[in-house]
Amino acid sequence: MSNSFGKIFRITTFGESHGKAVGVVIDGCPAGIAFDLAFIQKQMNRRRPGQSKITTQRQEEDRIEVLSGIFEGYTQGTPIALLVWNEDQRSKDYSHIADKYRPSHADYTWQLKYGTRDYRGGGRSSARETLARVAAGAVAKLFLNHIGIRITAYVSQVGALKLQQHYSQLDLSEAAIESNMVRCPDPAMAAQMIDLIDHTRKNRDTIGGVVSCVISGVPVGLGEPVFDKLHAVLGKAMLSINAVKGFEYGSGFEGVAMLGSQHNDIFYTDEKGRVRTRTNYSGGIQGGISNGEDIYFRVAFKPVATIMQDQPSINQSGEQVVISGKGRHDPCVVPRAVPIVEAMAALVLADFILRNQVVKLNHIVSAYPVTTLL
Amino acid sequence: MSNSFGKIFRITTFGESHGKAVGVVIDGCPAGIAFDLAFIQKQMNRRRPGQSKITTQRQEEDRIEVLSGIFEGYTQGTPIALLVWNEDQRSKDYSHIADKYRPSHADYTWQLKYGTRDYRGGGRSSARETLARVAAGAVAKLFLNHIGIRITAYVSQVGALKLQQHYSQLDLSEAAIESNMVRCPDPAMAAQMIDLIDHTRKNRDTIGGVVSCVISGVPVGLGEPVFDKLHAVLGKAMLSINAVKGFEYGSGFEGVAMLGSQHNDIFYTDEKGRVRTRTNYSGGIQGGISNGEDIYFRVAFKPVATIMQDQPSINQSGEQVVISGKGRHDPCVVPRAVPIVEAMAALVLADFILRNQVVKLNHIVSAYPVTTLL
Amino acid sequence: MSNSFGKIFRITTFGESHGKAVGVVIDGCPAGIAFDLAFIQKQMNRRRPGQSKITTQRQEEDRIEVLSGIFEGYTQGTPIALLVWNEDQRSKDYSHIADKYRPSHADYTWQLKYGTRDYRGGGRSSARETLARVAAGAVAKLFLNHIGIRITAYVSQVGALKLQQHYSQLDLSEAAIESNMVRCPDPAMAAQMIDLIDHTRKNRDTIGGVVSCVISGVPVGLGEPVFDKLHAVLGKAMLSINAVKGFEYGSGFEGVAMLGSQHNDIFYTDEKGRVRTRTNYSGGIQGGISNGEDIYFRVAFKPVATIMQDQPSINQSGEQVVISGKGRHDPCVVPRAVPIVEAMAALVLADFILRNQVVKLNHIVSAYPVTTLL
Amino acid sequence: MSNSFGKIFRITTFGESHGKAVGVVIDGCPAGIAFDLAFIQKQMNRRRPGQSKITTQRQEEDRIEVLSGIFEGYTQGTPIALLVWNEDQRSKDYSHIADKYRPSHADYTWQLKYGTRDYRGGGRSSARETLARVAAGAVAKLFLNHIGIRITAYVSQVGALKLQQHYSQLDLSEAAIESNMVRCPDPAMAAQMIDLIDHTRKNRDTIGGVVSCVISGVPVGLGEPVFDKLHAVLGKAMLSINAVKGFEYGSGFEGVAMLGSQHNDIFYTDEKGRVRTRTNYSGGIQGGISNGEDIYFRVAFKPVATIMQDQPSINQSGEQVVISGKGRHDPCVVPRAVPIVEAMAALVLADFILRNQVVKLNHIVSAYPVTTLL
């Protein structure tokens, strides 16, 4: 079923929405990282349900329990197992859909692929699985902090409300982004977005959005040049998040209308002797490898499939039925998706840092000493 | 360096633009597939340089040589090694950039990552590597043909010229798409696109574009529900192609502005008893698993970085230099990218067909017999 | 750190000897297998400490807790997370060796590789990790039971006491093997072995042994012919168990002194039309692929490194120290290794059954229909 | 089919005995290694057929052709593709066995697994595949030479003729081992072995043997402590070689009869301040990780299955037939297996050196700086 992600910094997640627990095993985290549980819990809190009026009202503390891999406050190079016990399960909320296929959910495809499904809250296909990613991503962030890599995601679009500023024109401090419940760094736009989501919720409907992400402090050289290009693996990571429909980096889809003479990022040497580019349409990645400029990308999320309205559908026998909207769900997924996007980006970066260590061996054995990284 | 792609139907490519040969080893192709070399060569010809006035004038026959894996006309379950000998190499065309970093190319990142690079034609970072993907993808297509899966890509945008029709309104026959050199199925738009590319070329510039792709005849159940969602792996496959900047499937980035009540694809049972959806914003994939509807997606390509103009840049010592445009290059990559997009899609589908065989074991050992696939 | 094993039926173990818990995530187990928790616990009990006078007296119930992957009594195709909470931890027993390297343990190599180690009971290098393998292997056995594959291990040597009979001459029923605490199916030899272990224990020493294993009911076709030969992966699986020093299958090391004319297994068709071999020096595997005959192999275990005697050693500063024997340890590992060997064999077989499903696709798409398996 | 080996230094082999070519793609070799083609060819010559009267008389030059990955005499970090064109193919030699199953060959299992097989010279199951391993292993050796790791294999047993000396008592120089055609470093024993093989050949029979291998200069810390223990991966590598029946390292099978108090390797600090052990029953590996002492192991090879005698067998219809001995084959495989054992060992060590680079990251980010390696 492929519940693992990463090659060296590798995670395996487990757990169903209404099972006993949801968790993750992290294999390949270096030894000697100070294990800051409060930091990890803080990331969990940014993702947890019930955090504001524009998220699901389902209440879960999502408190992390550490099962292995930490000794005297530090990682040991051994597998780190983390889990959250499920608490606020109202499995009965789901009995009415036990044999029905909810529109645009995984019910039908799952049933046909496996011959069965845990229908309670979507079971394994629930976005609750992403809490395990956020926990593991927080550990990756602890590691990346040592290297000076910063990952910042924020909401840049809700429905048709689109933030027009380039990321460099925004205040991307934690204070600014976390100052409002939609996690948009522009306060005026944030207020509009919150209104739109609230309005949509009152209409018993849902709406989509876009999460933007900026990664700075990246050393030159991350990414593998053919199939595992840095942006290809970032793209896969983002597209593996529930409800994601698209990914673009750098100039993205808008870049196709540009001329090469406009789009090319011209190299120069800055006053400190560092190689830079005058523009950054490349999005910090050239030939699949980081070039030291900011990496930035956008992730499109569709409107949540569960709506508080009656919808026609079919049951497992193929008969026409009505699905009525019940339970506690998000009217828009992007505010809670911000830490998930950051977590997946952190997992990708941590993995490529480790994969790139191999290349650095060149210092020792090669005719071509590599001197630029870390 | 990660020159392999796929888990079970797995390819490994090798070769540099100006080395002896470029090739691929396919490991995991089932035994018993009739090996139609003419079909494979035909795919190669769709990708090869020099095919029309709007592609590079570099002339290469790109004739496939088969080294292993075929016996008496059939695949054997053993590794299939295919290669193309490099012919029309004008390595001298590149001596002037041996120590210079071309803007928006992989020269700088490669040099810093590996401490060296084969500067002749981009070496391993050249898009010539994709001929190996097309060869392997053609073998994957031979396999998919047995299952009834059809993969059709076409050019849907060049610069700002964007085909407005939904794919279902277009004639996606091979005859229609291959009838013009830009591979756009709408003849009027094709003519405009060709003019735009030709005009751009005469201006010694380049331009971007979008390739759209439709996959039909897909059985329900392909894709793994968590990290290896079908669209996540398709996205990675596309983003690994040279010059790609974005990927979206189904409703894509436009879907974010929709309401859940509009976006949900309502299930019904058709007159043949087959489960269908009335709309297909899901793009044929729900919860990461194919639902039997058409899969469709769009891939954004940036303008080619090599332009026939002087550009400022730096050399390996960090000194300011001028790069002058030389050599024979494509003014727009999308016409030749069509078979590459198809090839990568075929590789993904073939792999997931094989990965899904495991699930089908359920027929035999499980309380939940799975009866829908193949 | 590579805490995963298997390609499709894939396990990831976690946990330290004196941490909170030791557990495993099983990814890739087919859906629809009845989850017999009592059977799994029974396998755990065969491995658990304190089961007899010839094993360590450390008392642990090793009771399995199920965290995910089971719904209404059946596997779901989702990850199955199982764990055992650590109980009888006397971490203080280890404080005297916190900075000392015990001879022939992993203390020194671990310290130099990771710069740290959890010294309590060996931490992650403890054989307590194998409880996770036994739990996962028990799930694999539940799966293999559907296919008719039986795996039976037993003790065939302790010190110089070596069972001379060929496995086919022994009563390999569960009743016979489990009738005595050393798990040797020959009662007279078992008694001698028990005496030898008990005698060794009283001498505050330890001794090695051999576990033999027979796998019957294997379909033809398991194993991949080049690098992942069935016996190569079985060998790796066994050599990955703590204290193992050697592996041989079929004729093994004795086979080297034979002539080809003696060693060749002659094919014939039996009265039921089944292809058989008259001898089985091949050990049920030819060219890395199972041929339907019994698979059998032998696994050598060294004497346990912890002895109840004073031993000279060094500490982390390189100074000469004395290690005194403390704690509760096994005088001989093989009685408790029997279920571990079976578990690893079950994991290998389950994985190859699933890997071989791909080949069976030939039924549908190939010129060469495969009709022999499952 | 799993024609790849290694995680980071990863090879993929291709080709059939009587196909066009046999070759290998090496992915993950560091950049900057001087590519010494003469050294590689020399390793090939040690393996090639027709080298002496005690090997097969089939004549093949086995000349290496380099297709990619080398630029100006150095590796580039890109895939290195090497191949040998097949020459001396007498495919007709095999037409008589096209539908017959040779005893103790892969004919039967292959036919049932894949529904087909290239019967000419065993096709893909031929030991000719190992030439690709020797080529790749030679590249690995070029890399290991930079680190000071030396790998030396030799023949230590043919039939019942067993070299009694410990490896430390032998002259393991290249001159000594290559001085005779059986590659046994003891001249007197070598002469006996040659006589035995020659005698066996004249009797139209074959015989088995043992190859021993010593690896010195290994840094502390190679190997992963749980499933990918250094000896477990070495064991798999050796067991994947054609005709291998067993693997043991350090004290091996003989160690089971020892007491812990005898078997434990006592640590001490030598005059140079280096940590050493007084004995080395551990075989240079403790807890799956190298401890800096010599690694040594033994590999058992069965007698070659092809004998120059008539043997009863069956054909694909299950009917009784006679297989007559034809063609040119080795009477004993071990002289030519020596470079194959070395090659597989080199591939394992090179991979673990690269895998261990990740751990060395600790220098930079960890509370536990690791200072012992490379």
Give how far C147 is from chain B: nearest CA, Å. 7
Asked if A30's CB is within 8 angstroms of D358's CB, the reply is yes
Scanning every residue of chain D, which has its alpha carbon at the shortest distance from the alpha carbon of C374?
D113
- In this structure, are residues C194 and C163 in contact, taking their beta carbons and an 8 Å threshold? no
DSSP class per residue in C28-91: -PPTT-B--HHHHHHHHHHH-TTSSTTS---------EE-SSEETTEE-SS-EEEEEE-----G
> Which among B24, B136, A353, A34 has a CA at the least distance from the CA of D12?
B24
Q: What is the pLDDT of residue B60?
A: 83
Residue B4 pairs in a beta bridge with B12
Q: What is the pLDDT of residue D60?
A: 83
Asked if B116's CB is within 8 angstroms of D21's CB, the reply is no
Q: Is D249 within 8 Å of chain C by CB?
A: yes
The two structure tokens encoding residue D47: 């393996």
Checking if the pLDDT of B90 tops 70, the result is: no
Q: How many CB atoms lie within 10 A of CB C250?
A: 27
Specify the length of chain D in residues: 374
**Average pLDDT value for chain D:** 93
Asked if C31's CB is within 8 angstroms of B359's CB, the reply is yes
The two structure tokens encoding residue C107: 């203390």
Query: What SS3 class is residue A40?
Result: helix
CA angle at C87 for the pair C85 and C90, rounded to the nearest 5°: 135
- Quick one: pLDDT band at residue D366, thresholds 50, 70, 90? confident
Q: How many CB atoms lie within 10 A of CB B241?
A: 24
Residue labelled with tokens 């910090």:
A284
Q: What is the pLDDT of residue C91?
A: 63
Checking if the pLDDT of B372 tops 60, the result is: no
Cα–Cα distance, C185 to B190 (Å, whole number):
80
Q: How far is CA C143 from CA A325, B94, B362, C341, C346, in A?
A: 39, 60, 11, 17, 9
- In this structure, are residues A361 and A20 in contact, taking their beta carbons and an 8 Å threshold? no
The model carries a pTM of: 0.97
Cα–Cα distance, B136 to B79 (Å, whole number):
11
Q: What is the pLDDT along chain C (374 residues), one digit of tens a residue?
A: 699 999 999 999 999 999 999 999 999 999 999 999 999 999 999 999 888 888 888 888 899 999 999 999 999 999 999 999 998 666 666 778 889 999 999 999 999 998 899 998 889 999 999 999 999 999 999 999 988 999 999 999 999 999 999 999 999 999 999 999 999 999 999 999 999 999 999 999 999 999 999 999 999 999 999 999 999 999 999 999 999 999 999 999 999 999 999 999 999 999 999 999 999 999 999 999 999 999 999 999 999 999 999 999 999 999 999 999 877 789 999 999 999 999 999 999 999 999 988 665 555 567 776 654 45
Give how far C22 is from chain A: nearest CA, Å. 8
Which H, E and C letters describe chain B, residue by residue? CCCEECCCCEEEEECCCCCCEEEEEEECCCCCCECCHHHHHHHHHHHCCCCCCCCCCCCCCCCCEEEECEECCEECCCCEEEEEECCCCCHHHHHHHCCECCCCCCHHHHHHHHCCCCCHHHHHHCHHHHHHHHHHHHHHHHHHHHHCCEEEEEEEEECCEECCCCHHHCCCCHHHHCCCCCCCCCHHHHHHHHHHHHHHHHCCCCECEEEEEEEECCCCCCCCCCCCCHHHHHHHHHHCCCCEEEEEECCHHHHHHCEHHHHCCCEEECCCCCEEECCCCCCCEECCEECCCCEEEEEEECCCCCCCCCEEEEECCCCEEEECCCCCCCCCCHHHHHHHHHHHHHHHHHHHHHHHHHHHCHHHHCCCCCCCCC
Asked if B108's CB is within 8 angstroms of A291's CB, the reply is yes
Cα–Cα distance, A184 to A198 (Å, whole number):
15
Checking if the pLDDT of A343 tops 80, the result is: yes
Checking if the pLDDT of A373 tops 90, the result is: no
C30 occurs within a structural domain: yes
Residue D233 pairs in a beta bridge with none
Residue labelled with tokens 């203080």:
C92
> Which among A217, A233, A218 has a CA at the least distance from the CA of A6?
A233
Checking if the pLDDT of B281 tops 70, the result is: yes
State the burial class of residue D330 (Cβ atoms within 10 Å of its Cβ: 0-12, 13-18, 19+).
buried
Asked if D210's CB is within 8 angstroms of C232's CB, the reply is no
Which of chain B's residues have a Cβ under 8 Å away from the Cβ of C141?
none
Checking if the pLDDT of D249 tops 90, the result is: yes
What's D323's DSSP letter?
E
The two structure tokens encoding residue D110: 């292959």
For A203-247, what is each residue's pLDDT tens digit?
999 999 999 999 999 999 999 999 999 999 999 999 999 999 999
How many structural domains compose chain B? 1
Q: What is the pLDDT of residue B359?
A: 64
Of B8, B32, B369, the CB nearest to C362: B32
- Quick one: pLDDT band at residue B351, thresholds 50, 70, 90? very high
Asked if A362's CB is within 8 angstroms of D31's CB, the reply is yes
Q: What domain range includes position A353?
A: 4-365
Element (H, E) at A301: strand A295-301
Which of chain B's residues have a Cβ under 8 Å away from the Cβ of C369?
32
Of B108, B309, B311, the CB nearest to A286: B108
Q: How far is CA B82 from CA A337, C100, C294, D5, D71, in A?
A: 44, 56, 39, 20, 22
How remote is the C-alpha of C48 from its chain's centroid?
Answer: 14
Asked if B247's CB is within 8 angstroms of A248's CB, the reply is yes
Q: Please give the interface size between A and B, counted as residue pairs whose CB atoms are below 8 Å apart.
A: 370
Q: Is A220 within 8 Å of chain C by CB?
A: no
D230 occurs within a structural domain: yes
Cα–Cα distance, B244 to B241 (Å, whole number):
6
DSSP class per residue in C241-293: STTEEEEEETTGGGGGGSBHHHH---EEE-TTS-EEES--TTTTEETTEE-SS
Q: What is the pLDDT of residue C365?
A: 66
Which of chain D's residues have a Cβ under 8 Å away from the Cβ of A28?
358
Q: Could you tell me the CATH number of the domain that includes residue A320?
A: 3.60.150.10
- In this structure, are residues D244 and C243 in contact, taking their beta carbons and an 8 Å threshold? no
Give how far B72 is from chain A: nearest CA, Å. 33
- In this structure, are residues A291 and A282 in contact, taking their beta carbons and an 8 Å threshold? yes
Q: Is D147 within 8 Å of chain A by CB?
A: yes
Q: Is D353 within 8 Å of chain A by CB?
A: yes
- In this structure, are residues A334 and A184 in contact, taking their beta carbons and an 8 Å threshold? no
Burial C311-322 (b: 16+ CB within 10 A, else e): bebbeeeeeebe
Q: What is the pLDDT of residue B58?
A: 80
**pLDDT higher for D286 or C373?**
D286
Contact map slice: D 61-80 vs B, CB within 8 A: 66-69, 71, 74, 76-80
- In this structure, are residues D49 and D58 in contact, taking their beta carbons and an 8 Å threshold? yes
- In this structure, are residues A358 and D357 in contact, taking their beta carbons and an 8 Å threshold? yes
Asked if A67's CB is within 8 angstroms of C124's CB, the reply is no
Q: How far is CA D219 from CA C104, C124, D74, D139, D353, in A?
A: 17, 22, 25, 19, 9
Give how far B145 is from chain A: nearest CA, Å. 22
**Average pLDDT value for chain A:** 93
Cα–Cα distance, C93 to C57 (Å, whole number):
14
Element (H, E) at D346: helix D334-360
Give how far A343 is from chain D: nearest CA, Å. 20
Checking if the pLDDT of B358 tops 70, the result is: no
C323 occurs within a structural domain: yes
Of C245, C256, C258, the CB nearest to D252: C245
- In this structure, are residues B198 and B52 in contact, taking their beta carbons and an 8 Å threshold? no
- In this structure, are residues D30 and D77 in contact, taking their beta carbons and an 8 Å threshold? yes
How remote is the C-alpha of B19 from its chain's centroid?
Answer: 23
Q: What is the pLDDT of residue C358?
A: 67
Asked if C13's CB is within 8 angstroms of A81's CB, the reply is no
* Amino acid letter for position D333: V
B254 occurs within a structural domain: yes
- In this structure, are residues D263 and D251 in contact, taking their beta carbons and an 8 Å threshold? yes
Phi, psi for D105 (deg, rounded to 5): -100, 180
Percent of chain B with pLDDT over 90: 82
**pLDDT higher for C1 or A338?**
A338
Q: Is A275 within 8 Å of chain D by CB?
A: no
For D301-338, what is each residue's pLDDT tens digit?
999 999 999 999 999 999 999 999 877 789 999 999 99
Asked if B260's CB is within 8 angstroms of A307's CB, the reply is yes
List the subunits that have 3+ CB pairs under 8 angstroms with A: B, C, D
A374 occurs within a structural domain: no
Percent of chain B with pLDDT over 70: 94
- Quick one: pLDDT band at residue A329, thresholds 50, 70, 90? confident
For chain B, state the CA radius of gyration.
22
- Quick one: pLDDT band at residue B53, thresholds 50, 70, 90? confident
Q: What average pLDDT does this structure show over B326-339?
A: 91
Q: How many CB atoms lie within 10 A of CB B53?
A: 12
Checking if the pLDDT of D372 tops 80, the result is: no
B373 occurs within a structural domain: no
Checking if the pLDDT of B374 tops 80, the result is: no
- Quick one: pLDDT band at residue D358, thresholds 50, 70, 90? low
**Average pLDDT value for chain B:** 93
For B155-190, what is each residue's pLDDT tens digit?
999 999 999 999 999 999 999 999 999 999 999 999
CA angle at D139 for the pair D136 and D141, rounded to the nearest 5°: 110
Cα–Cα distance, C203 to C214 (Å, whole number):
33
Cα–Cα distance, C331 to A245 (Å, whole number):
60
CA angle at D276 for the pair D275 and D279, rounded to the nearest 5°: 160
- In this structure, are residues D224 and A28 in contact, taking their beta carbons and an 8 Å threshold? no
Query: What SS3 class is residue D247?
Result: strand
Q: How far is CA D79 from CA B133, B320, D31, in A?
A: 15, 33, 10
Mutation for C interface: D111, D117, D206, D267, most C CBs within 10 A: D267
- Sheet holding A4-5: strands in order across? A4-5, A10-14, A21-27, A80-85, A65-66
Please report the ipTM that was assigned to this predicted complex: 0.96
| Orientation of helix A130-147 relative to helix A334-360, angle to 10° | 50
Mutation for C interface: A5, A18, A25, A83, most C CBs within 10 A: A25
D320 occurs within a structural domain: yes
Which of chain A's residues have a Cβ under 8 Å away from the Cβ of D32?
362, 365-369
Q: What is the pLDDT of residue A147?
A: 87
Q: Lowest mean pLDDT of A162-166, B64-68, B296-300, C58-62, name the range.
A: C58-62
A370 occurs within a structural domain: no
Element (H, E) at D85: strand D80-85
CA angle at C103 for the pair C97 and C104, rounded to the nearest 5°: 125
Q: How far is CA C37 from CA A96, A276, C349, D178, in A?
A: 30, 60, 21, 59
* Amino acid letter for position A4: S
Asked if C124's CB is within 8 angstroms of D359's CB, the reply is no
Asked if C362's CB is within 8 angstroms of B143's CB, the reply is no
Cα–Cα distance, A268 to A252 (Å, whole number):
23
- Quick one: pLDDT band at residue D96, thresholds 50, 70, 90? confident
- In this structure, are residues D357 and A361 in contact, taking their beta carbons and an 8 Å threshold? yes
